[in-house]
Amino acid sequence: MFRFLVTLSILLSYFNCFSLASVVTCSGIVPMRYRNDKISITDFGGVGDGKTLNTKAFREAIYRIQHLRRSGGTLLYVPPGVYLTGSFNLTSHMTLYLAKGAVIKATQDTWNWPLIAPLPSYGRGRERPGGRYMSFIHGDGLQDVVITGENGTIDGQGAIWWNMWRQRTLPFTRPNLIEFMNSRSIIISNVIFQNSPFWNIHPVYCSNVVIRYVTILAPADSPNTDGIDPDSSSNVCIEDSYISTGDDLVAVKSGWDEYGIAYGHPSSGITIRRVTGSSPFSGIAVGSETSGGVENVLAEHINLYNVGVGIHVKTNIGRGGFIRNITVSDVYMENARKGIKIAGDVGDHPDDKFNPNALPVVNGITIKDVWGTKVQQSGLIQGLKNSPFTGICLSNINLQGVAGPTSPPLKCSDVSGSAYQVKPWPCSELSSSQQTGACSNHF
Ligand SMILES: *[C@@H]1O[C@H](CO)[C@@H](O)[C@H](O)[C@H]1NC(C)=O
Ligand SMILES: *[C@@H]1O[C@H](CO)[C@@H](O)[C@H](O)[C@H]1NC(C)=O
Ligand SMILES: *[C@@H]1O[C@H](CO)[C@@H](O)[C@H](O)[C@H]1NC(C)=O
């Protein structure tokens, strides 16, 4: 009888913890759309032999969807096979569906890659002045778009672009793998992204974007292959994904120096949950381009292995803007160069016209429930002399070093806030707090 009761209680707690209803998710902000109308890329002459160029097939299929205007939209099916193609634009009310074994592969013909205008909030291409190459898969001014399937692959074949960057022969800023601009109600799920020329997934000036069950892969030495960069966007939900790239796994941004300040479009309501990955740079980042402001960010249940900086909030003079109400919790990191870094001297400038008096205002950053092993340095929290960072709250943090039980203490300057149960014991600027209310936000 006793055994039966124990078994029963174990079963009950099992259902409590794992029943689907109890899994916290933000994905409800964009309901999944199932479309009755379906077409296949093969209906438009698409050939998945890895050699035939399918640019015309993709553009014609999407032109058809745009002009059919079926109620409920249209699904474009990509069957198993390797579909080489140039970049193409999506349209509203469509699903791009990659079957198991389907690969959409970017052509390496960089000479004919379309150019588009720089983003107004950046004032130039990110790495080169002037325009920028259009993303491999692009959407501007769209709504109700889904990219999904059975874990097919979108492959940017970035190596040729990385080499141009290394050899300094890039005429313009490299293309993102996927970019949505000025769009809303977007879902990206169950797709593998690999070898992006530049950032992988870039929603900019968007709202209501769900990215989940994605895998993003690029070599650790591939330059600027950020995983997901929500940029001047609101209500972005990133969940249940694995990201291993050559740059930040997720970096929340909002424009660059005087251009971002003038454009003034913040990122807000960003959730990052159950993300695992590796990067020589940051795991979870805010910045460094935050000139339109970044607020209301929640990152939780994050697992980082072999990472440069586990949690990184970065900004600079000339950025202006604000960073406020950022919460990062339940982080496990193993083998990190730095655990936590919050700093006001990171990142470069678009040009020398930035205003050195445009200082960012950083207030209300809570980092809690962090466990690290093999963390070389705990990190640093370094505000700006004329704009100290306030409301920095650390609690229940344990960062173990490489050799000893704790890594060297956090260094601080120009910050205020509180700390509770932090190992190693942090700088005196944060150490004075009482236990209660240690993490109440002050903004
Ligand atoms: C794709 O969209 C971009 C930006 O909106 C536009 O400049 C370009 O002409 C479009 N390309 C095609 C083939 O429609
Ligand atoms: C696709 O990958 C996700 C994990 O990223 C997994 O949860 C899902 O079951 C996979 N789907 C298929 C059809 O293989
Ligand atoms: C702070 O951000 C969280 C999301 O992380 C949000 O739920 C909350 O409402 C925000 N607080 C304020 C005061 O805006």
Of the ligands numbered here, which is closest to the C-alpha atom of 116?
Answer: 1
> Which of 187-196, 201-210, 325-334, 431-440 comes out lowest in average pLDDT?
431-440
Q: Does 334 sit in the ligand 1 pocket, CB within 6 Å?
A: no
255 CA → ligand 3 middle, Å: 22
Kind of pairing, strands 201-204 and 178-181?
A: parallel
Q: Give the nearest ligand 3 atom to 441 CA.
A: 13
pLDDT band at 439; cut points 50, 70, 90: low
From residue 368, give the alpha-carbon distance in Å to each of 9, 78, 298, 426.
Answer: 31, 43, 12, 14
Name the token pair of 250. 């997720």
% of residues, the chain, pLDDT over 90: 88
What residue type is assigned to position 325 of the chain? N
89 CA → ligand 1 middle, Å: 6
> Which of 314-328, 338-352, 405-419 comes out lowest in average pLDDT?
405-419
What single-letter DSSP state applies at residue 350? S
| Complete DSSP assignment for 202-213 | EEES-EEEEEES
116 CA → ligand 1 middle, Å: 8
Contacts of 208 (CB under 8 A, 6+ apart): 29, 30, 184, 185, 186, 234, 235
107 CA → ligand 3 middle, Å: 43
Report pLDDT for 219: 98
Report pLDDT for 435: 47
**Share in percent of the chain as helix, strand, coil (round to 5):** 15, 45, 40
From residue 397, give the alpha-carbon distance in Å to each of 249, 279, 421, 435.
Answer: 21, 21, 7, 14
Report pLDDT for 443: 45
Shortest-distance Cα residue to atom 6 of ligand 3: 296
% of residues, the chain, pLDDT over 70: 91
From residue 151, give the alpha-carbon distance in Å to each of 38, 97, 297.
Answer: 19, 9, 28
325 CA → ligand 3 middle, Å: 6
Q: Does 181 sit in the ligand 1 pocket, CB within 6 Å?
A: no
Report pLDDT for 417: 94
Cβ atoms of 83 and 61 closer than 8 Å: no
Shortest-distance Cα residue to atom 7 of ligand 2: 213
Q: What are phi and psi of 65, to 5 degrees?
A: -60, -45
Whether residue 146 is predicted with pLDDT greater than 50 in this model: the reply is yes
Mean pLDDT, to the nearest integer, of 167-174?
Answer: 97
Q: What are residue 421's DSSP bridge partners?
A: none
Of the ligands numbered here, which is closest to the C-alpha atom of 102?
Answer: 2
Whether residue 65 is predicted with pLDDT greater than 50 in this model: the reply is yes
Report pLDDT for 41: 98
Whether residue 429 is predicted with pLDDT greater than 90 in this model: the reply is no
What residue type is assigned to position 417 of the chain? G
Shortest-distance Cα residue to atom 10 of ligand 3: 296
Mean pLDDT, to the nearest integer, of 24-52?
Answer: 97
From residue 42, give the alpha-carbon distance in Å to each of 49, 69, 364.
Answer: 12, 20, 52
Whether residue 271 is predicted with pLDDT greater than 60 in this model: the reply is yes
**Cα 230–chain centre separation:** 6
Whether residue 17 is predicted with pLDDT greater than 70 in this model: the reply is no
- CATH class as words, domain 38-439: mainly beta
Instruction: Tell me the pTM.
Output: 0.94
Of the ligands numbered here, which is closest to the C-alpha atom of 87?
Answer: 1
pLDDT digits (tens, 9 = 90+) for 310-336: 999 999 999 999 999 999 999 999 999
pLDDT band at 4; cut points 50, 70, 90: low
Cβ atoms of 314 and 280 closer than 8 Å: no
> Which of 141-155, 281-295, 297-311, 400-414 comes out lowest in average pLDDT?
400-414
Kind of pairing, strands 132-133 and 115-116?
A: antiparallel
Q: Give the nearest ligand 2 atom to 151 CA.
A: 1
Summary mean pLDDT of the chain: 93
Whether residue 181 is predicted with pLDDT greater than 50 in this model: the reply is yes
pLDDT band at 3; cut points 50, 70, 90: low
Report pLDDT for 425: 80
Whether residue 248 is predicted with pLDDT greater than 50 in this model: the reply is yes
Q: Does 140 sit in the ligand 1 pocket, CB within 6 Å?
A: yes
Whether 247 sits among the annotated catalytic residues: the reply is yes
276 CA → ligand 2 middle, Å: 15
Whether residue 404 is predicted with pLDDT greater than 80 in this model: the reply is no
Ligand 3 site-directed mutation target among 29, 325, 329, most atoms within 8 Å of CB: 325
Question: Which of the residues 144, 229, 247, 248 is marked catalytic?
Answer: 247
Ligand 1 site-directed mutation target among 55, 67, 89, most atoms within 8 Å of CB: 89
